[in-house]
Structure 1
Amino acid sequence: MRKLIALSLTAVALTLTSCSSDSPDDNGQNTALENAKSAFVDNYVNIVKASYDDALAKTQDLKTAIDAFVAAPDAGKFDAAKQAWLDAREPYGQTEGYRFYDGPIDGDGGEPEGYINAWPLDEALIDYVADGTGGQQGSDNRQNIVNNTAEYPTLSKTVLRDITGYNENESNVTLGYHAIEFLLWGQDSSAPADQMTGQRAFTDYTTADNADRRGQYLKLAAEILVEDLKSVVDQWEEGATYRKEFLALEKNDAIDKILTGVAKLSKGELAGERMTTAVKNQDQEDEHSCFSDNTHRDIYLNAQSINNIINGQYKKVDGTTISGTSLLDVLKLVSTEESAALEATAGTVMTKVQAISDAKFFDNQIIGETIDNISKPVMSAVSSLEKQGDELAQAGKTITGKNIDPRV
């Protein structure tokens, strides 16, 4: 009897020891996971800073090109300004995954993102359009800013900032990349099948009505864009208050923010607002960059923004790479199955958005597609992006225990 009791007690002791969180193996596993979480957050911050630095540098180049064009307008400088806009979009598109968690880009008031990348815009609020209406007539005549000298005798940063978002109308966009895009390319009134961008002539800045005011508007918009983007970059600088606060967060809280950003971009914003809406409405006005027809690159770059975090690396404009602990590295320590599934889905997403980028002219690609047919290229990519968003949300729950809603 005593022997049986002794054996039973020994078995209980062994069981308790094997289940204890204080066991050497568990301590090692927990330590590895916590170290990986910290390294992931650190690497994320480094990637954010590097990509915003690139975006700011290229946007400063855009401002320089615009200043040179406005000072002495000609066709060559006009083309150079448009190319500088396209170049600036390459790094900026890869910053979109840092949104949706009240970070420096879109805090409680939604600013300064609303001044940087707001869309779609009512282009007639800014300048003339093909039908000659000059904008929707409002009770206070806030329309056609370039040509409305009675309402806007003087153009200034304050005037342009005040009108953006006026009367809680999201299409009242006067600033940012897309306002500049419209001022450079003009309205794209061609049929999608024609595969043409907006056809604004450089003479709009030389001999057209209010040419000088148009140039002044363009310069102000570029100057404001640089200022607003720099205000975001500054908050991710070494020693900046927001950066220090972010790094000081409990790691699960920081990871929850990171994965909220990329999950919402993948499923809600990119797959939903930027792609499905255009397919549903069959309208090129729903393109993200409808004046320059650069939407195919927007889609690819936004997806790359998510992929950078999943794989823990960012390729800078100068060709060097920022890399470190990835989301996949952390997730693998908790669930190898989920990590493998997310890696496969992320690869599928990038293959499908690469095909969209290679085809160009997104407005032409959506012709004939329907939102219920995922066998076509655009909606097939949408389906993969939605799946990726759900898997990113699940990864957040698996790693941190927190729930993420990938919709926006």
Structure 2
Amino acid sequence: MKRRILSLGFIAMAMTLANCSDNDDTNYVDPNASLFSDVIGNVSSNVVVETYKTLNQKAGELRTAINTLATTPNEVNLAAAKQAWVNTRKPWEQSEGFLYGPVADDALGNGGLDPAMDTWPVDVEAMNNILSSGQPITANVIAANPEARGFHLIEFLLWGENGTKTAAQLTARELQYLKAAAEDLQNNTQTLINGWSASSGNYVGFFLTAGNSGNVKYPSQKAALEEFVHGIITIADEVANTKIQEPLNGPNGEGVSPQAEESRFSKNSLLDFADNIRSVQNVYLGDYGSIDGKGLTDVVAARNPQLDTAIKAKIAESISAIEAIPVSFTDAIYNNRPAVENAQQKVNELFSMLQTQLLPLINN
């Protein structure tokens, strides 16, 4: 560990501060406080909350599409339901850079809303037990079976094990299950947006009042900024070292493991990965959709413009490398391994940069 050498100017400034007003620093105002407030307010209100609003809207559209499919099970309606699933998956994957707050709340007793919506792998046995039980399949029945609900259960029923399921192959019980699972998913997205909204659970309020007396979540603005950084570090690590690594080389390095691939039934994995890194990008830039606000980039650029430029470039490189993987991820882990390894390397470089350079800058 290196010992920090203080300059004479720094020591003189510190002594001056120490002698001020009976050593009372309670009136000290960080010169960056206004910028920090703008960043925290924009990211929490206009990136996080707006992403969850989109998610809830798309989940409603998915539920409608599945209800239509259940009423008239034909290929047109099956294709529409599949597209609605993909559309709903996008904002969910773009939210994985901020898996804190209500999404991680264990008040439901099942580990939080994240596993309720995105448990992987699907417990096919649990699903089959429900299908063969003879009881009506309702959202409450689905909610009581944590391993047989959410995005991937719906994906499995819509696409089938090999991704080739037809509308004619959907049984009446499976259609009933799909309706209940879609209702359960939207119930959870509604609970999630309610938890964040200022008019309901108001988790966003903890960010908007970061640093205020009595704020038990974020007693300082730095604590709120650190939450943002930890969130994007976590998802960059997960994409590189779980989502790509485990199918590519096996959970324990034993070789290609296609069963470890998430979203493999729909072949949506590459879109998932790219949207995960867009989640990093949205928080870092402070942008979402038509919103162009302040993000972590503004904090970093004020202190280390070179690092800010490097982070933005590495985010873009990571997304480009993922999107450059040809065909499906299922095929690429066998036949296009160099492209997959390149994407993994770029995301790992991003992860390292966020962890070893961005986080220390925010901490200090």
Per the normalisation by structure 1, the TM-score is 0.74
Give the letter aligned to residue 151 of structure 2.
Y
The SS at the match of 2:334 is: coil
Is the contact between residue 106 and residue 113 of structure 1 (CA under 8 Å) also seen in structure 2? Answer: yes
Equivalence for 2:266: 292
Root-mean-square deviation (CA), in Å? 2.4
Is the contact between residue 328 and residue 339 of structure 1 (CA under 8 Å) also seen in structure 2? Answer: yes
Equivalence for 2:166: 201
1:76 and 2:76 are equivalent in the alignment: yes
Segments of 5+ residues of structure 1 without an aligned counterpart are 1-11, 23-29, 128-142, 165-172, 189-197, 206-210, 316-320, 371-375, 402-408
Give the letter aligned to residue 264 of structure 2.
C
Query: 1:246 Cα shift?
Result: 2.8
In 2, distance between residues paired with 1:21 and 1:313? 38
Equivalence for 2:312: 343
The SS at the match of 1:290 is: coil
Is the contact between residue 62 and residue 81 of structure 1 (CA under 8 Å) also seen in structure 2? Answer: yes
Is the contact between residue 51 and residue 95 of structure 1 (CA under 8 Å) also seen in structure 2? Answer: yes
Deviations 1:233-260 (A, max 9, x none): 1122234431212322321111111111
Query: 1:300 Cα shift?
Result: 0.9
1:395 and 2:358 are equivalent in the alignment: yes
Equivalence for 1:262: 232
Report which of the two structures shows the higher radius of gyration computed on alpha carbons.
1
Q: How does 1:159-174 map to 2 (within 5 A)?
A: 159-164=141-146, 173-174=147-148
Distance 1:244 1:212, change over 3 A: same
Query: 1:340 Cα shift?
Result: 2.8
1:364 and 2:331 are equivalent in the alignment: yes
Equivalence for 2:121: 120
Q: How does 1:116-155 map to 2 (within 5 A)?
A: 116-127=117-128, 143=129, 145-146=130-131, 148-149=132-133, 153-155=135-137
Pick which of 63-72 and 279-288 moved more. Answer: 279-288
In 2, distance between residues paired with 1:335 and 1:77? 52
Distance 1:333 1:122, change over 3 A: same
Equivalence for 1:44: 43
Distance 1:353 1:125, change over 3 A: same
Aligned with residue 204 of structure 2, among 234, 243, 259:
243
Is the contact between residue 40 and residue 325 of structure 1 (CA under 8 Å) also seen in structure 2? Answer: yes
In 2, distance between residues paired with 1:47 and 1:32? 25
Give the letter aligned to residue 245 of structure 1.
F
Query: 1:70 Cα shift?
Result: 0.4
Give the letter aligned to residue 358 of structure 2.
A
The SS at the match of 2:135 is: coil
Is the contact between residue 126 and residue 145 of structure 2 (CA under 8 Å) also seen in structure 1? Answer: no
The SS at the match of 1:50 is: helix
Is the contact between residue 270 and residue 299 of structure 1 (CA under 8 Å) also seen in structure 2? Answer: yes
Is the contact between residue 118 and residue 150 of structure 2 (CA under 8 Å) also seen in structure 1? Answer: yes
In 2, distance between residues paired with 1:98 and 1:330? 18
The SS at the match of 1:246 is: helix
Deviations 1:143-177 (A, max 9, x none): 4x21x22xx5332333322222xxxxxxxx21111
In 1, distance between residues paired with 2:117 and 2:69? 21
In 1, distance between residues paired with 2:66 and 2:175? 9
Structure with greater helix share of residues: 2
Distance 1:17 1:396, change over 3 A: closer
In 2, distance between residues paired with 1:80 and 1:368? 31
Distance 1:377 1:184, change over 3 A: same
Give the letter aligned to residue 326 of structure 1.
G
Segments of 5+ residues of structure 2 without an aligned counterpart are 1-7, 19-28, 211-219, 251-255
The SS at the match of 1:163 is: coil
Aligned with residue 104 of structure 1, among 102, 105, 121:
102
Is the contact between residue 117 and residue 151 of structure 2 (CA under 8 Å) also seen in structure 1? Answer: yes
Aligned with residue 219 of structure 1, among 179, 192, 197:
179
Deviations 1:80-136 (A, max 9, x none): 11111112222222111111x4x1112245311111111122334324xxxxxxxxx
Query: 1:284 Cα shift?
Result: 2.4
Is the contact between residue 102 and residue 195 of structure 2 (CA under 8 Å) also seen in structure 1? Answer: yes
Distance 1:201 1:334, change over 3 A: same
The SS at the match of 1:266 is: helix
In 2, distance between residues paired with 1:68 and 1:48? 31
The SS at the match of 2:249 is: helix
In 2, distance between residues paired with 1:302 and 1:56? 18
The SS at the match of 2:244 is: helix
Is the contact between residue 123 and residue 187 of structure 1 (CA under 8 Å) also seen in structure 2? Answer: no
Give the letter aligned to residue 387 of structure 1.
E
Query: 1:341 Cα shift?
Result: 2.6
Number of equivalenced pairs: 327
Is the contact between residue 247 and residue 254 of structure 1 (CA under 8 Å) also seen in structure 2? Answer: no
